[in-house]
């Protein structure tokens, strides 16, 4: 199965792909010139026809999102999401560091289509190198008249600001990102109002993912019809899947929607290492429920995934073989969410911490007889029903419910791993004696010191 080469072509095939000279001799900014000669509405129409869906996680149709900006309300902003904190997602890092000019071209086209004159790229704080590459690329574009007062010799003006966050996964959520960009704590806002109405500085704002915008130049140059002819039903085109875990060839692969989950593992990933059996697959980042081997012949498509109760999310794709302990995995995911909860909603702030601690003590042999019920109860307070995806939520943003996904996956596939550990639990005899009236609470102390 061939790797596709649309948005990954330049960075794979052109040496020094991140430099302006290499990009220009490879045809960069031709699509931007073409777009600037079109009516903005015609550019929007092309993206709608393409059926492009957001690559940041939610898969929302990009052209439709662009159409939500209220008419006649200015200034308006484009905010580019390069926060990429979802576990096992590493495509935006590669797209930004290796082909910043593709991204800048996408930003120019989107800004023209939307009537934006100032765009912000929010990179996660740890992305020092991608930041430098993008920053230098923007400077080069300013020096060569590709950005600035007269973009590519037109009357259109555009400035791009590169902005680094400072270590907070939640700032990938679009309203938290906007708060952070305003110099606030990165806590999600209650919607409505949606960013399209009142986003950055309370102005109409579009937030798009790096990969989404990197795709736009290709849609403009080859046409929305061409793009919509790729892919599967409503999941048009290609996307970059960040494949990792126990596969022989982990990496970023540009795949066309419509292959199967198994194709991704076998054809792109070269199969599971040492020919081992698959224990489970997490197809959409930490926030997704898991799949097991029997599910893997399903089509890789947004709607098919939803039917299976999972998400394709950010394109993350984790494969774990039979040596993996599902309880340890669930704990590590819960630890992630408990660390990253912004603390604004009580069920998430408290619940993610409890799920983390309960899984930790089960994992380490300190589980208590009713811990399984307790997990489901705490999970149910974040996400009523626990077992039903897409997850309901009592919270402002989906991070809290995401922490319930590993619990629901244990419940669905690996309940025995939990109950057998609880049967063997050593609470009552193996508790480290810390003080005279040592009780079961010392298990908490033990847990605290490790978590």
Partner 1 sequence: MSVFTPRNVERAQALIAQYPEPKSALLPLFHLIQDQDGWVSDESIAEIAALVGCTAAEAQGTMSFYTMYKRQPVGRFLVSVCTCPVSMVHGAYEILHGLEARYAEDPDVTVEEVECNAACDKVPNMQVNYEYHENLTLASAIQIVEEYKSGARVARGISGGRAESGASNA
Ligand X SMILES: Cc1cc2nc3c(=O)[nH]c(=O)nc-3n(C[C@H](O)[C@H](O)[C@H](O)COP(=O)(O)O)c2cc1C
What residues make contact with ligand FES under the rule CB under 6 A? 87-88
Q: Which is nearer to ligand FES, 87 or 188 (CB)?
A: 87
Tokens of 83: 């926060």
Binding-residue total with ligand X (CB under 6 A): 23
Query: Which SS3 state, helix, strand or coil, does residue 353 take?
Result: helix
Least gap, CB of 134 to ligand X (angstroms): 15
164 binds, among partner 1, ligand SF4, ligand X, none (CB under 5 to 8 A by kind): partner 1
Q: Which is nearer to partner 1, 253 or 391 (CB)?
A: 253
Least gap, CB of 241 to ligand FES (angstroms): 14
220 binds, among ligand SF4, ligand X, partner 1, none (CB under 5 to 8 A by kind): none
99 binds, among partner 1, ligand SF4, ligand FES, none (CB under 5 to 8 A by kind): none
Q: Which is nearer to ligand FES, 88 or 97 (CB)?
A: 88
**Selection from 268, 152, 127, 163 nearest residue 217 by Cα:** 152
Least gap, CB of 147 to ligand SF4 (angstroms): 34
Q: Cβ atoms within 10 A of the Cβ of 421, count?
A: 20
Query: Which SS3 state, helix, strand or coil, does residue 344 take?
Result: coil
87 binds, among ligand FES, ligand X, ligand SF4, none (CB under 5 to 8 A by kind): ligand FES
- For ligand X, what does the binding mask look like between residues 53 and 92, x meaning CB under 6 A? -xxxxx-x-x------------------x-xxxx------
Least gap, CB of 370 to ligand X (angstroms): 30
Tokens of 449: 């010191």
Q: Which is nearer to partner 1, 65 or 133 (CB)?
A: 133
341 binds, among ligand X, ligand SF4, ligand FES, none (CB under 5 to 8 A by kind): ligand SF4
Q: Is residue 397 part of the contact set for ligand X (CB under 6 A)? A: yes
Query: Contacts by 5-8 with C-beta closer than 8 Å and gap 24+?
Result: 5/254, 6/215, 6/218, 6/237, 6/238, 6/254, 7/95, 7/99, 7/102, 7/211, 7/214, 7/215, 7/218, 7/238, 7/240, 7/254, 8/95, 8/240, 8/252, 8/254
- With a CB cutoff of 8 Å and minimum separation 6, the contacts of 307 are none
CB 349 within 8 A of CB 341: yes
Tokens of 126: 């740890």
- With a CB cutoff of 8 Å and minimum separation 6, the contacts of 362 are 327, 331, 371, 418, 421, 422, 425
Least gap, CB of 211 to ligand X (angstroms): 8
CB 109 within 8 A of CB 52: no
303 binds, among ligand FES, partner 1, ligand X, none (CB under 5 to 8 A by kind): none
Strands 118-123 and 77-82: what pairing? parallel
- For ligand SF4, what does the binding mask look like between residues 332 and 351, x meaning CB under 6 A? ---------xxxxx--xx--
Q: Which is nearer to partner 1, 224 or 406 (CB)?
A: 406
Strands 251-256 and 159-164: what pairing? unpaired
Q: Is residue 75 part of the contact set for ligand SF4 (CB under 6 A)? A: no
Q: Is residue 401 part of the contact set for ligand X (CB under 6 A)? A: no
Q: How far is CA 274 from CA 241, 265, 270, 322, 405, in A?
A: 22, 13, 11, 11, 29
Q: How far apart are CA 303 and CA 301, in angstroms?
A: 6
Least gap, CB of 171 to ligand X (angstroms): 8
Q: Which is nearer to partner 1, 166 or 430 (CB)?
A: 166
Query: What does the longest C-alpha to C-alpha distance in the chain come to?
Result: 80
Least gap, CB of 123 to partner 1 (angstroms): 10
Least gap, CB of 343 to ligand FES (angstroms): 24
Helix/strand/coil percent split, the chain, to 5: 45, 15, 40
Tokens of 100: 């910043």
Residues 385-404 that bind ligand SF4 (CB under 6 A): 395-397, 399-400
Q: How far apart are CA 91 and CA 326, in angstroms?
A: 26
Query: Which SS3 state, helix, strand or coil, does residue 70 take?
Result: coil
| Sole binder of ligand X in the list 140, 174, 254, 295 (CB under 6 A) | 174
Residues 155-174 that bind ligand SF4 (CB under 6 A): 170
Residues that bind partner 1 (CB under 8 A): 75, 84-90, 92-93, 118, 124-129, 131-132, 135, 161-169, 180-187, 201, 242-246, 250-252, 282, 286, 318, 320, 323-324, 328-329, 332-333, 336, 339-340, 342
Interacting residue ranges for ligand SF4, rule: CB under 6 A: 170, 187-188, 341-345, 348-349, 395-397, 399-400
Interacting residue ranges for ligand X, rule: CB under 6 A: 54-58, 60, 62, 81, 83-86, 170, 172-174, 207-209, 212, 397-399
């Amino acid at each position: 199965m061939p790797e596709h080469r649309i948005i990954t072509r330049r960075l794979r095939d052109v040496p020094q792909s991140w430099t302006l000279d290499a990009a220009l001799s490879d045809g960069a900014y031709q699509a931007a010139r073409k777009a600037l000669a079109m009516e903005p509405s015609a550019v929007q129409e092309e993206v709608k026809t393409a059926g492009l869906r957001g690559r940041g996680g939610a898969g929302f149709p990009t052209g439709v999102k662009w159409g939500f900006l209220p008419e006649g309300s200015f200034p308006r902003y484009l905010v580019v999401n390069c926060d990429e904190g979802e576990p096992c997602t590493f495509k935006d890092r590669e797209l930004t560091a290796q082909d910043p000019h593709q991204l800048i071209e996408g930003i120019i086209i989107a800004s023209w289509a939307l009537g934006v004159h100032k765009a912000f790229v929010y990179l996660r704080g740890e992305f020092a190198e991608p930041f430098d590459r993008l920053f230098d690329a923007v400077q080069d574009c300013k020096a060569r008249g590709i950005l600035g007062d007269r973009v590519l010799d037109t009357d259109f003006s555009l400035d791009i600001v590169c902005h680094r966050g400072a270590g907070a996964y939640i700032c990938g959520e679009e309203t938290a990102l906007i708060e952070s960009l305003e110099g606030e704590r990165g806590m999600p806002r209650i919607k409505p109002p949606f960013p399209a109405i009142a986003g950055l500085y309370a102005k109409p704002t579009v937030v798009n993912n790096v990969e989404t915008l990197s795709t736009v130049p290709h849609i403009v140059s080859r046409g929305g019809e061409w793009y919509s002819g790729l892919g599967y039903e409503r999941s048009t085109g290609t996307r970059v899947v960040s494949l990792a875990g126990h596969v022989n060839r982990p990496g970023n692969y540009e795949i066309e929607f419509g292959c199967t989950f198994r194709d991704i593992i076998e054809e792109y990933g070269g199969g599971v290492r040492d020919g081992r059996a698959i224990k489970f697959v997490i197809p959409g980042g930490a926030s997704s429920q898991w799949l097991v081997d029997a599910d893997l012949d399903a089509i890789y498509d947004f709607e098919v995934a939803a039917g299976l109760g999972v998400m394709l999310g950010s394109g993350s794709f984790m494969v774990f073989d039979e040596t993996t302990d599902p309880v340890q995995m669930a704990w590590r995911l819960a630890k992630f969410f408990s660390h990253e909860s912004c603390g604004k909603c009580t069920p998430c702030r408290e619940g993610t911490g409890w799920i983390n601690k309960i899984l930790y003590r089960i994992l380490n042999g300190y589980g208590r007889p009713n811990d399984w019920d307790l997990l489901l109860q705490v999970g149910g307070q974040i996400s009523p029903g626990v077992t039903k995806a897409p997850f309901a939520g009592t919270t402002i943003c989906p991070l809290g419910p995401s922490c319930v996904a590993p619990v629901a996956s244990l419940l669905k596939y690996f309940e025995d791993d939990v109950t057998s550990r609880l049967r063997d639990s050593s609470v009552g005899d193996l508790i480290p004696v810390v003080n005279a009236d040592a009780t079961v609470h010392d298990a908490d102390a033990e847990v605290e010191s490790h978590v």
